[in-house]
Structure 1
Amino acid sequence: MVIHDSDRMPERRDAFFPLAGRHALSNRVRGLIAAVIACASLVGCASTGDVVATDKPGIYTVEASATGGRMAWARAHDHAMNEARDYCERRGMQSSITTETVSGVQMMSEHASSVNFECHPKF
């Protein structure tokens, strides 16, 4: 006698697997999470270097870079500007940008911003 799987399985699948609906929802949630991660990878990431003193007294520089997407240059610029501002604010002062150098123009290349700045007393 040969027993087939169809002979063992109940007619209704949810009678045998009562949690099938919950697992289906979990798969949908996993799919949504994967889609969010994929979108985030298209946006890219940004990083900021340390603030360093230049050879000119009272002038500092900070570099930031960003990759991915059309707005990478803006993320690099924002990170550099924010780091300059934060550096001065931690000293009870305000930042004043003297120069900014940017690089990277192609969409999927690394974009960079290098900001030179001074810290001045707050008024």
Structure 2
Amino acid sequence: MSNQGSDSLAEACTTVRVCEAEGVARVASAARKRAALFLRVRGAVAVALACASLVGCASSTDVVASDKPGSYTVAASATGGRMAWARAHELAMNEARDYCDRRGMQSSVNRETVSGVSAMTEHASSVSFECHPRF
């Protein structure tokens, strides 16, 4: 009988060791999965921030009447990325067009000055324009 009892005990110990090993393996596997997920999330956040820094933001001034009657000036600036000058230009041109559109007229650009060409600097566009009647 004692032989049978020691066999049961040995079997129970083996079962406990196997269960413990499986439990440790499950915990280790879950930890690896969490670590991999964390790295993917961290990578996605880094990509999103990089894209956001390239997009940047743009702003414009109010349209200001110049010394010449019927002539106006508006300036816009944008930051972030190599194409910031294009956003500044587009914003200044849109502001000029919208200003004249509100008066039932069309815009005519006389002069544009652009500054800032480096990748991560502020780029600016200043547009001098006139409003003319639509034909």
Q: TM-score, normalised on structure 2?
A: 0.67
Give how far 1:66 is off.
Answer: 0.9
Task: Report what 1:97 is aligned to.
Answer: 109
Structure label with greater radius of gyration: 2
- 2:58–2:78: 8 Å Cα contact kept in structure 1? yes
Q: What is the number of equivalent residue pairs in this alignment?
A: 112
Q: Deviations over 1:32-61 (max 9, x none)?
A: 355323311123211111101011110000
Unaligned runs of 5+ in 1: 1-6, 14-20
- For the residues of structure 2 that align with 1:29 and 1:122, how far apart are their CA atoms? 54
SS in 2 for 1:79: helix
Structure 2 residue corresponding to 1:73, chosen from 55, 71, 85: 85
RMSD between aligned alpha carbons?
2.8
SS in 2 for 1:69: coil
- 2:73–2:126: 8 Å Cα contact kept in structure 1? yes
- The list of structure 1 runs, each at least 4 consecutive aligned residues, that deviate by more than 4 angstroms after superposition, is 10-13, 27-31
Q: TM-score, normalised on structure 1?
A: 0.73
Give how far 1:31 is off.
Answer: 5.7
SS in 2 for 1:38: helix
Structure 1 residue corresponding to 2:124, chosen from 112, 115, 120: 112
Identity %: 74
- For the residues of structure 2 that align with 1:116 and 1:70, how far apart are their CA atoms? 24
SS in 1 for 2:59: strand
Task: Report what 1:49 is aligned to.
Answer: 61
SS in 2 for 1:39: helix
Could you say which structure has the higher helix fraction? 2
